[in-house]
Amino acid sequence: MSELLLACVLLSWIVTCQSGPWRPCTDLLPLDLLSRVLPVSGRAQDGIRMVQSRGARGFQFSGSPQLFSFPASQLFINCNFFPAEFSVVVTLKIPQMPPEKSEYIFTLLEGDSEEPLLGLRLSQNKFHFLQKGHGSRKRITFKAVGLDDNRWHTVVLAVTGRYTILTVDCGTPLELVLERSFPDNLDTTGSTFFIASRRRWNGLFSGLMRQLVLLPGSDATSQICPSSEPQLSALSVPQALLHLPIKPSSTDLPLHPYEAEVRVTAGVSPPCGHSEEGQLWFNTLKRGLFLCDGIVWLTMLQVKEKLDYVEDHQDLFTNSETFDIEVFHIPSVGLFMATANRDSNLGSGIYKWTDGRFERYQNISTYDAKAWQYFTVGKKKFLVVANCRSKDAGDQEQSVIYKWSSRKLKFIHYQTLITHSARDWEAFSIQDETFLAVANHRQGERNHNIDSVIYKWNPVAQFFEVNQTIPTTGAYDWEFFTIGPYYFLAVANTFNGRSTVIDSTIYIWLGGMFQTYQSITTFGAIDWEMFQIENRVFLAVANSQMLTEEGKILYSINSTIYELSMTSQTFIKFQEIETNSALDWEYFTVGDDRFLVVANSYDGNSYSLNSVIYRWQGFEGFIPVHRLSTNGCRDWEYFNTTDGSYLIYSSARAALSKVLKLRTI
Ligand SMILES: *[C@@H]1O[C@H](CO)[C@@H](O)[C@H](O)[C@H]1NC(C)=O
Ligand SMILES: *[C@@H]1O[C@H](CO)[C@@H](O)[C@H](O)[C@H]1NC(C)=O
Ligand SMILES: *[C@@H]1O[C@H](CO)[C@@H](O)[C@H](O)[C@H]1NC(C)=O
Ligand SMILES: *[C@@H]1O[C@H](CO)[C@@H](O)[C@H](O)[C@H]1NC(C)=O
C-alpha cells in the first residue's frame, strides 16, 4: 500500500508541477501535534502531567480543553488546504472503556463549530476516523482494534484517495474504503486543532498520550515499521518524554515538575484514583509494594503467593446430583453459580455468593440437566442449559436459553432449541459474532452417530439460528480456543454404539466454517481442557473408560495432555496421567504456579476415590501434589473473590457439592 501511496504523491507532484509552480500547504516533514500543546520546557502547567507507566512515559490531560489547542494556521503556512493524502501516528495507553463512552484523540474544529472537519475518536474496542463531508459528517469505524486494554499501542492511520488504512503496532493493515475520495480542497481557514478533546470536557481523552504526529503526503508506516518495539514505535516523540529517569541529588531541582510526588501509604486497600497517582502503597497483608497509575495499583514488588494446602469451606446441598457447575460474574450484581441437576421434578439451582458462601438464589425447571453455560451478547447476559430429556415422555427434547433480567434480577426464559440428549453448550465469539455449539450425544435410545449443531446469534432477529452442523459420535463436550489469529473448536466424542475407542476431532475456522484440523484417538472422551503456559499450547483430554468392540471394559486408564508442536502444526502427546474414569480437567493458577485438577469418578469398584491436583514443574510436566477424597466426582471449577481462591466440585452420586479454599503462604 505504501508504494501505491508514494506513487500517488509523486504523480500528484508531477501533475501539479506541470501546471505551474506548486508548493504544498504544509511542510512535508512530520508535524508533531503533541509538542505544540506542551508547556515550554521544564515549566509546570495545570491540567497536564507526565506519567510513567509500563516502562514508557506519556502525558495525561485533565485541564481545560482550550489549553491544548492551537490555530490550524500554525501548520498550514503556504495555503489553507488540508493535505489530500496524509497519515497520523499516535501512541497511547488507555484502560478499557465502558460501552457508552467515547473519547477524542484530536479534532480539527472550524470556528465555533463542534463538528470536526476531521478527527480521531476512540470507543470501546473501536477506532473512528471522523471527517466532515459535503453537508454531512462521515465516520469510518475500525472494529475490534483492541486498543483500550491499558497497554501501549502505536497506531498509524493513513488516508489516500478512497482508502483509509489502519495499522496497529506494525501489524496487518486494516483497510476501509471511503464513499468518495478524501477531498483535496478541505479548507482549514479559521479552524483550530484540539488535542485530546473536541473543545468540550465531555469526551476528553483520559489515557496517556506519548506521540501524535501528522505526516502530510505519505504513509508513516514504512518509516516506523517494522520495529523491535512496535507498541512504542516512534516517528516523533516530544523531547520531555524521552528523558530517562534521573536520581535527584541534593543540589538538583526536580527535573520534571509535573511529575507526581512520591508518597507511601500503608493499610488495607487505599483508594487509587486521579489524586493518588504516583503514590506508593506498602501492603503488609500481601507483602508487596504497589504504585497507583491513576486507575489501579500496579505491582512493583510482591512476594508471590504459593498454594500451601486445601481446606473445606462449604458443604453445598443441591437439588439433586450435579453434573456440571458454572461459576460466573454479573458486573455490579455479583458472583453466581448454576448447578446442572439430575432430578427433573426439582430442577436446577442458581446460587449467589453472599458473605463468603454460596446461597440459593433461583430454581429453574430443567430435565436431566447436564451442563450450563453463561455468556453475553453485547450487554445481554444469558445462561443456556443442556437438557438431556424431554419434559414429558414422547415430547421433543429441548434445551433452553435464559436471559438475565436486570429489572427482575432473575433469569427468564428466552429461546428454546431442539437438542438430542444434549451434554454440553459452548459459547464463543468470532470477529464480533456470537456462536453457541451444542454437543448432541444420542438420538433415540441407540443412535450416537448424529449431528451436533453450531448456532449463530442473529442481531436483527435477536435469536440464535443454525449456522453449521457437524457429524459427531456420542459427543460430550465442546472446547473453543484461539491461538493467535486462529479459532479452534474441539469435540470430545465418547461412544459410537459399540466402542469408546474412537476419534475426537479438533476443527479450525476457515472460510466461514469449521473444518477438520486433526483427529485424536480417545477412550470415552468426556472433556477437553485447553491451557497455555507462556507461549506453549496444551490440550488435556479426560478419558472416562475403554470399552472395546470385544466388550472388555476398563476405567483405570490414562488421560493424555497434548501439546501443539509448532514444527508439525499438530497436537502431539506431551504427558500421560493415570486416571480413574476421568470426567473433567480444570486448569488454574496460584501466584506463579500452574495447576491441573482431575475429577476421578470410578475405578470399576468404587466411586469414593481421590481426585488429584497436579503442579506444573516444567520439564517434568505435571506432578501430583494434593489428593482430595471425593465421591463420584463429576466437575471441578476454580474461582476467586476478593478474599481468596476456591475450588468447587460436584458429585454425580450425591446431592452434595463442596467448596474448598486454597490456602496460600
Ligand atoms: C429451590 O428448590 C429447593 C428444592 O426443591 C428448595 O429447597 C428451595 O427452597 C428452592 N429455592 C428457591 C429460591 O426457590
Ligand atoms: C455461518 O457464519 C459465518 C460467519 O458469519 C458465515 O460466513 C457463514 O456463511 C454462515 N454459514 C451459514 C450456513 O449460515
Ligand atoms: C499410561 O501412562 C504411563 C506413564 O504415565 C505409561 O507408563 C503406561 O504405559 C501408559 N499406559 C497405557 C495403556 O498407555
Ligand atoms: C482470578 O481468576 C481469573 C480467571 O478465573 C484470573 O484471570 C485472575 O488472575 C485471578 N486472580 C487472582 C488474584 O488469582
Whole-angstrom Cα Rg for the chain: 30
Share of the chain above pLDDT 70, in %: 91
- In the chain, the N- to C-terminal Cα span, in Å, equals 55
Q: Which amino acid is at 38?
A: L
- Atom index in ligand 4 nearest the CA of residue 589 equals 14
Cα–Cα distance between 307 and 614 in angstroms, integer?
A: 12
Q: Ligand 3 within 6 A of 308 CB?
A: no
Cell of 136: 454531512
From the CA of 346, give the closest atom in ligand 1: 5
Q: Give the closest residue (by CA) to ligand 2 atom 6.
A: 512
Name the pTM for this structure.
0.63
Ligand nearest to the CA of 546: 3
Ligand nearest to the CA of 510: 2
221-237 b/e with 16+ CB inside 10 Å = b?
bbbbbeeeebbbbbbbb
| Residues 69, 74, 80, 86, CA torsion sign | negative
In the chain, % of residues over pLDDT 90: 66
**Answer CATH for 26-241 from 3.40.190.10, 1.50.10.10, 4.10.780.10, 2.60.120.200:** 2.60.120.200
**Torsion angle (degrees, nearest 10) of CA 652, 410, 428, 501:** 10
Query: Which of 572, 547, 541, 546 minimizes the C-alpha distance to 557?
Result: 546
Read off the C-alpha cell for 515: 473444518
Write out pLDDT tens, residues 15-72.
333 344 557 787 778 899 998 898 775 566 778 888 888 888 899 998 889 889 999 9
* 519 has a pLDDT exceeding 90: yes
Question: Can you tell me the distance from the alpha carbon of 122 to that of 405, in angstroms, rounded to the nearest whole number?
Answer: 30
Instruction: Give the DSSP H or E segment for 3.
Output: helix 2-18
Q: What is the 3-state secondary structure (H, E, C) of 635-655?
A: EEEEEEECCEEEEEEEECCCC
- Compute, in angstroms, the gap from residue 606 CA to the centroid of ligand 3: 22
Burial of 64 (0-12, 13-18, 19+ CB in 10 A): middle
Which residue is closest in CA terms to ligand 4's atom 4?
Answer: 639
Read off the pLDDT of residues 560-609 as tens digits, 9 standing for 90 and up.
Answer: 999 999 889 999 999 999 999 999 999 999 999 999 999 999 999 999 99
Average pLDDT in the chain: 89
Where are the alpha helices (H) located in 118-179, listed in sequence order? none
pLDDT of residue 136: 54
Check whether 113 has a pLDDT greater than 90.
no
- Asked if 663 contacts 310 with a C-beta cutoff of 8 angstroms, the reply is yes
Q: With H, G, I as helix, E, B as strand and everything else as coil, classify residue 65.
A: helix
CA 640 to ligand 4 center in whole angstroms: 6
Q: pLDDT tens, 524-542?
A: 999 999 999 999 999 999 9
Is residue 430's pLDDT more than 70? yes
Q: What is the pLDDT of residue 286?
A: 67
| CA pair distance 524, 602, nearest whole angstrom | 13
Query: Residue 251 pLDDT more than 50?
Result: no
Minimum CA distance residue for ligand 3 atom 6: 576
**The pLDDT of residue 257:** 35
pLDDT at 135: 53
| CB-based contact 640:648 (threshold 8 Å) | no
Neighbours of 503 (CB within 10 A): 15
The pLDDT of residue 246 is above 80: no
Give CA–CA dist 205/197, Å, rounded.
6
d(CA 86, CA 482): 35
- Domain borders along the chain are 26-241, 260-302
Residue nearest to atom 11 of ligand 3 (CA): 558
Strand order across the beta sheet in which 644-651 lies: 307-317, 656-664, 644-651, 633-641
C-alpha 576 – ligand 3 centre gap (Å): 6
Please check whether residue 49 is in contact with residue 57, taking contact to mean a CB–CB distance below 8 angstroms. no
Q: pLDDT category, 4, cuts 50, 70, 90?
A: very low
**Residue entry with cell 476531521:** 118
CB 346 less than 6 A from any atom of ligand 1:
yes
Give me the numbers of helices (H) and strands (E) for the chain, helices first please: 3, 48
Q: How far is the CA of 557 from the centre of ligand 3 (A)?
A: 8
Task: Work out whether strand 280-283 and strand 264-265 pair parallel, antiparallel, or are unpaired.
Answer: parallel
Q: Which of 106-120, 285-299, 367-381 is modeled with the greatest confidence?
A: 367-381
